[in-house]
Every structure is written in structure tokens, then in C-alpha cells.
A and B are shown apart, each in its own frame.
Chain A
């Protein structure tokens, strides 16, 4: 018998906002029939505000409860606020989930992320910049990025925790070695970021910009260079097509900042100089 909170029980017994929005502005999906749970989320968005949200879920009690509470959490919120929601927030709103069920909250987060990604064309153009995702767990089709995000958002330290949050490694177990590698890489990176001296930090950020970020922007006829670094604030300047692109802010936030955060430190903020 699972130890479900009152809130979880309330939401699977009487889920809120069930159904489909036929003229939805954004639709997001996570999970699959084979894996045993799937969530579809439908959003109506007006003036940057989520005015309505509905869901359909195939899954267990905590999957339905996660979906249901997620719709309640986002209705009436601005896109900026909605973007900040993580799986941890969903679990917290539910009064906690059993460790083995944390992947249900992750599924909610992934469906929401998926919906926002396809929300408008601006974002779609950005998602092209992303590299194809590498699948780590073939049983449950869990990607390296999903595992990385779960480790980062929830401070996961063991393979078992990663399995509880993402399902990865929960079936045949062949990918457990890779999961351990990802955990090790993440932890090494965390330590690295903490240990760097100011000069080392500048050199490392500059190196990432030159080798990972600049070549991507050059493909689209633009470029970037480092202007200054103050604490965790990284000032950059865009060149070429990037400097006139209407998506410049998004490029900086979603691609440049994300790349630096992943490689260096979660607290880095990138600002256009």
C-alpha cells in the first residue's frame, strides 16, 4: 500500500480540469502506453497568461494527481511564472510523493515543458539549435538530458534515486553504468564550478563560448563574444544576424545561458551588453 498524502488521494478521486481543449494554443505530451503512463496537457494562452488548462492521463493514482494539480498550478499564471515550475514544485503541492513515484511529478514537468516548447514559432526556431537527444534508457526511452535535469533539479545522488525520478534503469538495468557516469560527471562539474578562481572562471566561460556556443550561432550567420564577467553575471555581445534577430533575448536565455549553466554553474546569468 502506497503512503499517499491526503492531497494525492483527493486529486485522483476527483481530478480537476480533465479533458481536451480543441482549440488549444499549446499541447504537450510525456510518457507512452508501453511505459505505463502518459500525460497530455492542453493550454489556452492569452496575452502571455495561461487562461485555461486541461489534461488527459493514462497512469496510476499519483500520475493523475500530478496532472490534476499541475493544471491548477498554472491556470491564471504568466508564461514566465509557468516556466519556473519544476517537478519538485508539483510534488510539494501534492504534499509529497513516495520516492518510487517521483517520476510522476517529472512526467508533469516534462509535459508542461513540451507544451511550452511548441507554444509559438519563436521557441520552435530555438529548439532547432538543440542537439539531438541521446537515449540512455532504451526500456523507458529516457534521454541524457532528462536524467541530467532530474539530477540537477532534485539533487539526486544515486542510481536508485534517478530510477525513482525518471524510471531510467528500472527495467533491464543495462544503462545503470551510464547513469552512474552521468551522476559522476554532474558531481565533478559541480565541484569544478566551485573550485575555480576568478581568472580560471573567465577562461573557462570564454572557452565554452568559443568552442560550443559561437560555432552554433555562426551556422545561422551570427556570432557572439564575451564582454565582461561580474560574479555570476556574464555579459555578452551578439554580432551579425544575431544582433538584429528578434529572438536574440531567447537565444541568450535558452541557448547561451543554458549551455553555460550546464557546463559550469546553475547560478550563471547571461546578459546582453
Chain B
């Protein structure tokens, strides 16, 4: 099996699993208890908080809240800010956010909030002028993802934060860093971020654990109300083994950033350039630079993505598609539509996302097999005339 779907989820690192194990059957105490038995559990949480603080370069451990996932982090941040300060009713976000954020904003619109969705260009880059123009005195929150899950495109977080603060100092800035964590360095102070969400299972921690950074100047109303855990910001007995696992994964990810930027990127670039060269009806759906090192999104024209994935799956290769058919919804990816990817390619778009576990041998195998798969599916397409024209054009331009 060749797993190139690491933006969906990742394999748990063995060191992470090892770090979690003691807290299931040995040190299983509730960290809030007062007896000595609970000390190891409460120490584990304290230590983990310190590790996550360093991982994102927060100023204070108290700014870290453990959550159950990226969606909870986003919901806590967004609803938390808006509920705490009920007077402002305007939010700015982007057209390419993750559904967990977009669907929340659609719900908030029904509750009377005004939401502006900022567009992107065909490379996937955000329209910063439009963003700047939309910020008003009534803007409570600007909410932007750091890296896009489908394309890997990185938004200029520092620049966005400067724009926000120059227009309205009261406006809060939430960054969904779920796809950035573990792939590129994260520094909340340097980038002027008020709130930031991450999710463990995207960087080799298990599913079911995330974290939210809320800086000391930002006040939120908690989403989950109950006990006093997480300084009253998130009730519920702490998930000790998973918190320990998240911290271990963050530590390893921090150490592995250089490997991501060099080796993972090299393999990604190799796969990408070979597929674009060897398959005439292929196109890169993004700009070349300005992406996280592990992701490429390639559109195969006049063929459909689910069928590509099924044929890949027959060979044991896992990836994702922006096609409508894979999701059960009937529309293709909202991200690729916002980028105006042509209809000829949008339904046949495949996202390959690598990890530190991806090997050269795997990339070579996928490079060898993809042209065969695409050729097989292209042969049954009703668009043979268009395909012949495309091939002629590519050859004429020396790109095939």
C-alpha cells in the first residue's frame, strides 16, 4: 500500500504511541484529583502544554487549550470570540476555507452575522486588496487558513495580520493552521495571530486530539461548559494519553521541519514534474511556489477523479480527488472552483499528499503507474477530439 493522502490523516508515529501508552493502564488517574497518584497525569498535561507553546512559539503556556480536533478548535475560537463580544456582527473569511469553518459561517449568517468571503486567483493566492477593503469598524473577526488542505497553498499570514491591525486594532485574527502544523514553522507572535487551531492526526498523532491557541489579550466564551479544566475555557476531563501523544508528535514535527522542507519537497517535486511531463492531459492546479512541501494538486483533463482513484486503489495507491463523485455531494471542490480551474480538469483533479514516511521507491512506482491509469481512462472518454487537440498543443509547445 502506498499512502499519499497525508492531508486527510497520517500514520501515528511509533514514538507517539509509546509516549501515550503509560496513561491508559498505569497512570490512568484523573489529573484533577488531589492524591499523589494523579501527579504523573497532571505533570504530563503541564509538560505537553509547554511543548505546544514552544511548537507554535506562544508567549505563555496559559494560552494553550487542548481540544478534541481541528473542528472543535475552530468552533471554540470563532463562536468564542463572537459570543464574548456580541456588539460586532461582521466577519471576514475566504472562499477556500475548510468545510468545518465554512459551514459554521453559513450557520452564523442565518443568525444575523454578515460574512464576507474573500476570493483567490488561479494560483490559489488570496486577494489581499479585497480583504483590506472589507475590514470595517464592525469587523469582529478575520478568519483565514494558513495552508489549504486541497492545494497546499500558503496564505501570507503576517501580511494579513498587518493589514487587519492597520485597519481595525480591535478585530481578532483566527488562523486555521491544521494543514500547516508539522509542515512549515509556526510562530504566533511573529505573525500577529490572536487565535490558532491545530489538529494532531495531521502530523502523526492520533485522531481525536487538537489544540487551540488564544493569546492573553483575547477573551472567549467557552464552547463546552462544565468543569474548571483548561482554566474554564474547555470543560471535560483531560484526554491525558492523547495530550501526551500530541506533545510528542509536536516535538518530532518540530525536529522534522527541515526534512519536510528538503526531502519531502524533493519527492513531491519529483512526482509532480514527472506526472506533468509524462501525461499530456495533466495540469498543475496551483502556482508552483508558495505551497507546503508535501502537497500537489494535479488536474487530469477530460477524465473523472473517482474513477482515477478507484484504479489507483486497485494498485494500492491512496490519494484524494476534488471531483464531485467522491464526496457524495454533487459539486466539485469549492476550492478549485474558487480558483477557476476549468471544467475540463476540475472533475479529474487528484491531490497527492506525502509524509515523512513516503519513500523514493513509492514515488517511482506511482510515477510509473499513473500514466497507464490515465491512459486507460482517457481511452473511454467521449472527448476524443478535444483530447487529440490538447495533445497536439502540448507537443507543439514542447511540454510533452
Dominant SS among interface residues on chain A: mixed
Inter-subunit contact A20/B380 (CB<8 Å): no
Dominant SS among interface residues on chain B: loop
Inter-subunit contact A33/B306 (CB<8 Å): no
Whether A13 is near chain B, meaning CB under 8 Å from some CB there, is yes
Q: Which of B151-159, B243-251, B324-332 lies on the face that meets chain A?
A: B324-332
Q: Which of B4-12, B197-205, B209-217, B381-389 lies on the face that meets chain A?
A: B381-389
Of residues 39 through 76 on chain B, the ones whose CB sits less than 8 Å from some CB of chain A are none
| Complex CA distance for A66 and B310, rounded to whole angstroms | 16
List, in ascending order, chain A residues with CB within 8 A of B311's CB. Answer: 13
Whether A273 is near chain B, meaning CB under 8 Å from some CB there, is no
Quick one: which of B307, B331, B380 contacts A60, CB cutoff 8 A? B307
| Complex CA distance for A39 and B306, rounded to whole angstroms | 16
List, in ascending order, chain B residues with CB within 8 A of A13's CB. Answer: 311, 314
Inter-subunit contact A38/B323 (CB<8 Å): no
List, in ascending order, chain B residues with CB within 8 A of A64's CB. Answer: 307, 380
Quick one: which of A20, A33, A170 contacts B331, CB cutoff 8 A? A170
Question: Using a Cβ cutoff of 8 Å, how many contacts connect chains A and B?
Answer: 70
Which residue of B302, B324, B344 has the most chain A CB atoms within 10 A of its CB atom?
A: B324
| Complex CA distance for A101 and B328, rounded to whole angstroms | 8
Whether B303 is near chain A, meaning CB under 8 Å from some CB there, is yes
Whether A37 is near chain B, meaning CB under 8 Å from some CB there, is yes
| Complex CA distance for A34 and B332, rounded to whole angstroms | 10
| Complex CA distance for A64 and B381, rounded to whole angstroms | 10
Known: A34-B343, A56-B384, A58-B381. A170 touches B307 (CB 8 A): no
List, in ascending order, chain A residues with CB within 8 A of B97's CB. Answer: none
Mask for A43-58, Cβ within 8 A of B = 1, else 0?
Answer: 0000000000001111
Whether B379 is near chain A, meaning CB under 8 Å from some CB there, is yes
| Complex CA distance for A225 and B234, rounded to whole angstroms | 77
Quick one: which of A15, A34, A60, A163 contacts B325, CB cutoff 8 A? A60
Inter-subunit contact A61/B310 (CB<8 Å): yes
Whether B90 is near chain A, meaning CB under 8 Å from some CB there, is no
Cβ distance A17 to chain B, nearest Cβ, rounded Å: 10
Known: A34-B343, A167-B330. A40 touches B314 (CB 8 A): no
List, in ascending order, chain A residues with CB within 8 A of B324's CB. Answer: 36
Whether A59 is near chain B, meaning CB under 8 Å from some CB there, is yes
Inter-subunit contact A18/B343 (CB<8 Å): no
Known: A13-B314, A33-B383. A171 touches B306 (CB 8 A): no
Whether B176 is near chain A, meaning CB under 8 Å from some CB there, is no
| Complex CA distance for A20 and B383, rounded to whole angstroms | 11
| Complex CA distance for A36 and B323, rounded to whole angstroms | 8
Inter-subunit contact A59/B383 (CB<8 Å): no
Whether B304 is near chain A, meaning CB under 8 Å from some CB there, is yes
Q: What class of interface size applies to chain A in its complex with B?
A: 20 to 34
Cβ distance A6 to chain B, nearest Cβ, rounded Å: 14
List, in ascending order, chain A residues with CB within 8 A of B325's CB. Answer: 36-37, 59-61, 63, 101
Inter-subunit contact A40/B382 (CB<8 Å): yes
List, in ascending order, chain A residues with CB within 8 A of B347's CB. Answer: 33, 36, 58
Inter-subunit contact A58/B323 (CB<8 Å): no
Inter-subunit contact B379/A58 (CB<8 Å): no
Inter-subunit contact A18/B379 (CB<8 Å): yes
List, in ascending order, chain B residues with CB within 8 A of A57's CB. Answer: 380-382
Inter-subunit contact B306/A61 (CB<8 Å): yes
CB-nearest residue of chain A to B325: A60
Known: A12-B307, A59-B325, A64-B307. A171 touches B331 (CB 8 A): yes
Inter-subunit contact A170/B382 (CB<8 Å): no
Quick one: which of B328, B330, B383 contacts A58, CB cutoff 8 A? B383
List, in ascending order, chain B residues with CB within 8 A of A59's CB. Answer: 304, 307, 325
Quick one: which of A15, A18, A63, A101 contacts B304, CB cutoff 8 A? A63
Of residues 153 through 182 on chain A, the ones whose CB sits less than 8 Å from some CB of chain B are 163, 167, 170-171
Inter-subunit contact B304/A37 (CB<8 Å): yes
| Complex CA distance for A56 and B383, rounded to whole angstroms | 8
Whether A149 is near chain B, meaning CB under 8 Å from some CB there, is no
Inter-subunit contact B382/A163 (CB<8 Å): no
Whether A100 is near chain B, meaning CB under 8 Å from some CB there, is yes
List, in ascending order, chain B residues with CB within 8 A of A171's CB. Answer: 330-331
In the complex, besides A56-B384, A59-B307, 18 extra interface pairs with C-beta distance below 8 angstroms are A15-B380, A20-B384, A36-B323, A36-B330, A36-B332, A36-B347, A37-B325, A38-B382, A55-B380, A58-B302, A59-B325, A60-B304, A61-B306, A61-B310, A101-B325, A140-B330, A163-B330, A170-B330
Residues of chain B at the chain A interface (Cβ within 8 Å):
302-307, 310-311, 314, 323-326, 328-332, 343-344, 347, 379-384
Residues of chain A at the chain B interface (Cβ within 8 Å):
12-13, 15, 18, 20, 33-34, 36-40, 55-61, 63-64, 100-101, 139-140, 163, 167, 170-171
Interchain residue pairs with CB less than 8 A apart (24): A13-B311, A33-B302, A33-B343, A33-B347, A34-B343, A36-B325, A36-B332, A55-B380, A56-B380, A56-B381, A56-B382, A56-B384, A57-B382, A59-B325, A60-B305, A60-B307, A63-B304, A63-B325, A100-B328, A101-B325, A140-B330, A167-B330, A170-B330, A171-B330
